[in-house]
Amino acid sequence: MLQVQNIEKSYRTGGLWKKQSQQVLRDVSFTCKEGECLGIIGESGSGKSTLGRLILGIDQPDQGAILFYGQSVEQRKVRRGMISAVFQDYTSSINPFYTVEQAIREPLEQEGQSRMEQSRQIDELLEQVGLSLDYRSKYPHELSGGEAQRVCIARAVSTRPRYLVLDEAISSLDVRIQVQVLHLLQELKSVYGMGYIFITHDIQAAAYMCERMIIFQKGQIVETIDTARLSDVQSDYGRTLLSAAIAR
């Protein structure tokens, strides 16, 4: 279980010598159950990506705690291989000097597997994300956006994590590829039984993927609702997001 408890986060603004700060997250608390897909929905600048960085241990909260089965994710040994991520910018997520094989192999090398076992798993992962074995020797600049994001997904699930943070993971792709990647994510969830933290501004994509949604505005949770009851959303901001999605 992943627990976010009373998280506060601010960043310094105005330059090195000024002591001004901007509060990005305010008293954020929620739980994501094992195997659940939980949506974090809000517009750009609402603080949801900052929340993702805290869950991944990339940054630390000013107050509060994020616990993975009762232990703080600030401890590298707690989160390593157990919480993984796929980001929006697939172009910078893969080392441009790595082949696809090298990119996927990198996290596997930290798991202590033999080279033979790593190679077998790379083949299996490529097949699972819908890429042929010919892609092993390709470099990032030889991949389309959808192909690059599939490689990022293969790498993210290679350690069989318990939770996968998806931070605007489809927003840079065209609509046709978005649908394909969403289908792929659903398939992988059923295979691995992972929980997803699905961070997005796209309430339609979240409705397709998630069992529950957290409506996020200005660093605060304004509402949490089961996706099956989304039409009953109560907050003004939630209604605005839903109306905008319906109007598309």
Q: Kindly report, residue by residue over 181-220, the tens digit of the pLDDT.
A: 999 999 999 999 999 999 999 888 999 999 999 999 999 9
- Considering its fold, how many domains does the chain have in total? 1
Q: Domain with 68 in it: what CATH number?
A: 3.40.50.300
What's the chain's average pLDDT? 90
Give per-residue pLDDT as tens, 23-39: 899 999 999 999 999 99
Mean pLDDT across 48-72 = 93
State CA 247 to chain mean position distance: 27
Q: For residue 248, what pLDDT is reported? A: 63
Alpha-carbon gap, residue 224 to 127, rounded angstroms? 36
Q: Could you list the residue range(s) of the whole structural domain that residue 129 is in?
A: 2-247
Whether residue 15 has pLDDT greater than 70: no
Q: pTM of whole model > 0.85? A: yes
Q: What is the pLDDT of residue 245?
A: 72
Report pLDDT digits (tens) over 231-244: 888 888 888 888 87
Q: Which long-range contacts (CB under 8 A, 24 or more apart) does 220-226 make?
A: 220/25, 220/26, 220/27, 220/28, 221/28, 221/29, 221/30, 224/30
Is the pLDDT confidence value at 19 over 90? no
* DSSP state letter for 47: S
Give the Cα separation of 77 and 71 in Å (integer). 10
